[in-house]
Structure 1
Amino acid sequence: MPLFTLGINHHTAPLAIREQVAFQPERLPSALHEMLDKMAAEEAAILSTCNRTEIYCAAETPEAAIEWLASHHQLKRSQIEPYIYALPTEEAIRHAFRVASGLDSMVLGETQILGQLKDAVKVAEDAGTMGSLLNKLFQRTFSVAKAVRSETEIGSNSISMAAAAVRLAERIFASIKDQHVLFIGAGEMIELCAAHFGAQLPKRMTIANRTIERGESLAARFGAQAVTLNTLPEILHEFDIVISCTASPLPILGKGLMERVIKQRKHRPVFMVDLAVPRDIEPEISQMDDVFLYTVDDLSVIVKEGLDARQTAVIHAEAIIDQHVAEFMHWLESRAVVPTIRNLRDHADRITRNELDRARKRLSSGEDAERVMEQLAHALANKFMHAPTHALQHAEPHERHDMIRLVSRLFHIPEQH
């Protein structure tokens, strides 16, 4: 069954569209099963991050996948179709290799996407929606990503989202050392942000999370305080910098709350970064005076700096990927002949068994062993040669030359000119 990739990412769609087709982590297993049922697909995996939602699938056509993606998110097909890319087999393979290697990321060479892709594969494995084709694809994908990172300098100058957030904050405040920083969430992205901001030695850092245990665990690593999300209305005004990245399907911070916060702060500025998809912070807040709100798309300006210095590494990385794509396509194409080879072997086994049975009966009846062996060899040769000989003798004039060349190649015999 054909392989394809269908998706929406930061190259093709703005954040307002991407967040509408994002999948909550806890809903991915049920979504995978629903997709296989609705599409009659054999295998599937879903990668959903702040920058992309992608479906890797073994199915007859991507058309059904587009319909399913829209209906699953209660959208009209026309709302998302202009932003969707549907990649056929070879392009899908190349895309997977480039994504895992950090070549398709907003941050060129970033490593977080590889971990996110591995998580997506694990979810699909646990859900039972992975088969031999996708297993082989992702095994090779991870191998290619390792080769790119070890054989090129693609990641040496990369700028993470967390580092970009620090750069932006430094444009707002004279020194981060004098600021109070709030992190909302306790996932990998918040952990990276805490590490980058923590390196600037801010006056205070606080982790707000739905479960206090997870927040306390992360806070302990950075000398921060941990609180629950329900305390935000009471404490939000204390913070100069707010970084949010949760898996909440709805905004956590609304415009009404921030209007009260700004009054409490007597209009001292607040720097906010929303790294979540769907967004944690209502976009209307960006229109408020004294609030500097940035999303993942806004950070792209920062993370693209220094791109020219990495172009040599990109050329090398693309060459590595091209080689592995060719190898994977060769493997994929070789799978097409497996049923024919199996049938050919089964056919040969049946002929061999039948002739051996006849030979054993002759031997048991007392016939000369040497004569039986000669007749067995002669019978096997005749049976094996009957089909190709018949095909050659009855070939149409326009196909005879090609068939002669094919038979000569199959049986390693010289062509007669």
Structure 2
Amino acid sequence: MSVLTLGLNHTTAAVDLRGRFAFAVDQLAPALRGLHERLRLPHAEVALLSTCNRTELYCALGGLGGPARELQRAAVDWLSQIGHVSHDELMRHTYVHEGGHAARHAFRVASGLDSMVLGEPQILGQMKQAVREADSAGTLGTTLHQLFQRSFAVAKEVRTSTEIGAHSISMAAAAVRLAGQLFEDLRHTKVLFVGAGEMIELSATHFAARTPRAMAVANRTLERGEKLATHLGAQAMRLAELPDRLHEFDIVVSCTASSLPIIGLGAVERAIKARKRRPIFMVDLAVPRDIEPEVAELDDVYLYTVDDLSAMVQTAGERRQAAVAQAEAIIETGVQGFVHWLDERTTVPLIQALHQQADAWRAAEIARARKLLAKGEDVEAVLDALSRGLTQKMLHGALAELHSADARHRPEVAASLARLFLRGEVNPATPRGKRGDGA
């Protein structure tokens, strides 16, 4: 049984490269089905986690060795085609974990230890969404289900037993702090939120706490934008209105699922001109980007991406490093438990085969006994023959191994058979006075 994690994140790839591999929630299930069909490997399981900071494939496969390597190659080839980058270029920014290392990575991700913001809670919800989508796509099997359920349990223990998430500075809080450095008083600013998803809602909540003069929500779907705007006491507007109204706002925070930038260089240039050079603070939390990167080169525009905010949030993370060791110990215990479960799973095919063989022997002996009874044979004699037939079939393979073993290996085979069949009994293969291993 093989478990594999393959991905790239904020520590291995810049935002523009990560953007090539970003999947919206409604793209996850179709993408998983496409990958699963392409793998053409029996019993393959796949799940896909895609956030602004990472894209990761979690895979499981029955068997060991070659098929796991084949799975890895197929997954990398699929990702390279998705992102339109070469295999070698992708591997320069990709990490691969197997077995216990894959479990440790999943547990650290779920617990927020691998996040740009140490201990941030959003990733746990994103992982649960990834599991739901894999289940919907029919690509979530027993092994990945077990991996993720254990990840969630470990994350819960980390958050309740440590202070890893205490006083965390999220991306939204970091954006508010930076805006406060540019504008003397946020109460005199007008804030525009582009999008209406979870990240925008979180950002809007942080900015609303500073009571800006006005707020607006621009969204492609007006109904969803109106829902968030009503909650915030803000104005709702259509995304199509954005170019004509951009100049009205001092602060713009954008995070949509668009695959292409929705705020271009020309629109921002016109807004700056209409504002008579008054500065605009812009935050692009989307991956891929919502705001064209050339906007950052304009005078009077202060543009920050998720990567630009990393230094600020890492400073807060360093103050909580004392809790990391405790969290890592909890994670390590979880990893050991999962690896033990995984090792046990490798014997499942053997156990199933043994049961099938035993059932076949039993069925054959019962059929023979019924024929004898139908002929009027004595019941006691038939039962005796049935029990003898079963025991002979069960011992045949073991005795054949013992007789065919050469002199060098025969003691080892004898000891194994004694452990299997003479548990708690005197082992004739051991010196007088000694007991079998099961004693």
Going from structure 1 to structure 2, the CA distance change for 1:342 and 1:274 (only over 3 Å counts) comes to same
Q: Counterparts in 2 of 1:70-81, with a 5 A limit? A: 70-81=80-91
Q: Which residue of 2 aligns with 1:38?
A: 38
Q: Counterparts in 2 of 1:274-285, with a 5 A limit? A: 274-285=284-295
Distance (Å, rounded) in 1 between the aligned partners of 2:402 and 2:167? 63
TM-score (norm 1): 0.95
Distance (Å, rounded) in 2 between the aligned partners of 1:375 and 1:77? 65
Secondary structure class of the residue paired with 2:92: helix
Secondary structure class of the residue paired with 2:147: helix
Q: Unaligned 5+ residue runs, structure 1?
A: none
Q: Which residue of 1 aligns with 2:21?
A: 21
1:366 deviates by 4.3
Distance (Å, rounded) in 1 between the aligned partners of 2:387 and 2:360? 15
Total equivalences in the alignment: 417
Secondary structure class of the residue paired with 1:27: helix
Amino acid at match of 2:74: A
In terms of mean alpha carbon deviation, does 397-406 or 75-84 score higher? Answer: 397-406
**Of 163, 182, 187, which aligns to 1:172?**
182
Going from structure 1 to structure 2, the CA distance change for 1:409 and 1:300 (only over 3 Å counts) comes to same
Q: Which residue of 1 aligns with 2:147?
A: 137
Q: Which residue of 2 aligns with 1:260?
A: 270
Q: Which residue of 1 aligns with 2:319?
A: 309
Does the CA-based 8 Å contact 2:12-2:93 persist in structure 1?
yes
**Of 114, 119, 122, which aligns to 1:109?**
119
Amino acid at match of 2:400: H
Q: Is 1:200 aligned to residue 210 of structure 2?
A: yes
Going from structure 1 to structure 2, the CA distance change for 1:365 and 1:80 (only over 3 Å counts) comes to closer
Q: Which residue of 1 aligns with 2:436?
A: none
Amino acid at match of 2:27: R
Going from structure 1 to structure 2, the CA distance change for 1:141 and 1:372 (only over 3 Å counts) comes to same
**Of 394, 397, 400, which aligns to 1:390?**
400
Distance (Å, rounded) in 2 between the aligned partners of 1:150 and 1:396? 59
**Of 286, 292, 295, which aligns to 2:305?**
295
Does the CA-based 8 Å contact 1:164-1:303 persist in structure 2?
yes
Q: Which residue of 1 aligns with 2:335?
A: 325
Percent identity for Structure 1 against Structure 2:
52
**RMSD over equivalenced CA pairs, Å:** 1.8
Does the CA-based 8 Å contact 1:181-1:204 persist in structure 2?
yes
Q: Which residue of 2 aligns with 1:48?
A: 50
Secondary structure class of the residue paired with 1:196: helix
Q: Which residue of 1 aligns with 2:60?
A: 58
Distance (Å, rounded) in 1 between the aligned partners of 2:335 and 2:95? 19
TM-score (norm 2): 0.90
1:363 deviates by 4.1
1:414 deviates by 4.9
Distance (Å, rounded) in 2 between the aligned partners of 1:27 and 1:358? 58
Q: Unaligned 5+ residue runs, structure 2?
A: 62-66, 432-439
Distance (Å, rounded) in 2 between the aligned partners of 1:330 and 1:305? 37
Distance (Å, rounded) in 2 between the aligned partners of 1:272 and 1:72? 29
**Of 79, 85, 107, which aligns to 1:69?**
79
Distance (Å, rounded) in 2 between the aligned partners of 1:37 and 1:379? 47
Q: Which residue of 2 aligns with 1:341?
A: 351
1:226 deviates by 0.6
Q: Counterparts in 2 of 1:393-408, with a 5 A limit? A: 393-408=403-418
Amino acid at match of 2:231: R
Secondary structure class of the residue paired with 2:49: strand
- Deviation by residue 1:266-305 (Cα, 9 ceiling, x = unmatched): 1111111100000001111111111111110111111112
Does the CA-based 8 Å contact 1:274-1:296 persist in structure 2?
yes
Could you list the structure 1 runs, at least 4 aligned residues long, displaced by more than 6 angstroms after superposition. none
1:27 deviates by 2.6
Distance (Å, rounded) in 2 between the aligned partners of 1:229 and 1:357? 76
Distance (Å, rounded) in 2 between the aligned partners of 1:228 and 1:310? 41
Secondary structure class of the residue paired with 2:20: helix
Does the CA-based 8 Å contact 1:24-1:249 persist in structure 2?
no
Does the CA-based 8 Å contact 1:98-1:321 persist in structure 2?
yes
Amino acid at match of 2:105: H
Distance (Å, rounded) in 2 between the aligned partners of 1:160 and 1:105? 11
